[in-house]
Structure 1
Amino acid sequence: MNLPKVIIDLVNAQNSFDSIAYANCFSETAVVFDEGKTHNGRNEIQHWINQSNENYKSMMKPLEYTGNGTSGVLSAECSGTFPGSPITLKFHFDVIDGQIQHLKVTG
């Protein structure tokens, strides 16, 4: 599977529970939408993923990636300490200049 470097970095940061490295994959003005909530900017994203790591210990196993220009969708098996684990989620990305500008997580 041919993943963009920033997506590889994001998966590695998630799987090592490194919220700082995870947030650094995003631009300063990035937006994340997950579980019905919007997180704006790198600081909010770092806080969100840190809380998620503490609560769920989620790990990602990439299954498939499709990209089209600056947009891409990663399907990943996510496992952790949450009900229904493992589940497959889709991560919809917009990447510009090597940083994630937008991420929407769907089931």
Structure 2
Amino acid sequence: MKLPPPIQDYIDADGRNDGAAVIASFAPDAVVKDEGQTYVGSIAIGTWWRTSKFAYKHSIEPFEIIEKSDVIEPLAKVMGQFPGSPATITFAFELGSSRITALEVNP
């Protein structure tokens, strides 16, 4: 399975627990929606990622890609310290020229 480079960069950085690389995969004004909250910009996205990683100690294993007109949705097996783990979760990405501009995480 071949993911677009910004998405693969995000998945790889998450797997290495590399917060700086996770943040670098997003555009400076990107938006993340997860668990009913919205995070805008690099600082908020960094806080979201670090808080989620600390709380859930999750890992992401994409296994299928659904492509829509302007959204790429990898389905992933997510394992971690949360009820229902492992779970199949959809990550809906929107991309700019070289970075992620939006991400919505959907259980």
Q: Does TM-score exceed 0.5, indicating one fold?
A: yes
Whether contact under 8 Å (1:67, 1:73) holds in the other structure is yes
Which residue is equivalent to 1:65? 65
Partner of 1:93: 93
Amino acid at match of 2:81: T
So what's the TM-score if we normalise by structure 1? Answer: 0.94
3-state SS of paired residue (1:85): coil
Structure 2, gaps ≥5 residues long: none
Identity of aligned residues (%): 35
In structure 1, runs of 5+ residues without a counterpart are none
Give the distance between the partners of 2:12 and 2:32, measured in 1 at CA. Answer: 18
Tell me the distance in 2 between the aligned counterparts of 1:97 and 1:74.
Answer: 19
Which AA in structure 2 matches 1:61? E
User: Corresponding residue for 1:103?
Assistant: 103
Distance in 1 (CA, whole Å) between partners of 2:10 and 2:100 is 10
Give, in angstroms, the shift of residue 71 of structure 1: 2.0
Q: Alpha-carbon deviation of 1:89?
A: 0.3
Deviation digits for residues 18-66 of structure 1, max 9, x if unmatched? 1111111100100000000000001100111011111111100011112
Indicate conservation of the 8 Å contact 1:90/1:105, yes or no: yes
Residues 1:40 and 2:40 aligned together: yes
Aligned-partner Cα distance in 2 for 1:103–1:33: 6
- Mapped pair 1:30 → 2:12: no
- The ranges of structure 1 where at least 4 consecutive aligned residues each deviate by more than 3 angstroms after the TM superposition are none
Query: How many residues are treated as equivalent by the alignment?
Result: 107
Find the counterpart in structure 2 of residue 7 from structure 1: 7
Partners of 1:30 and 1:66 in 2: CA distance? 21
TM-score, normalised via structure 2 length: 0.94
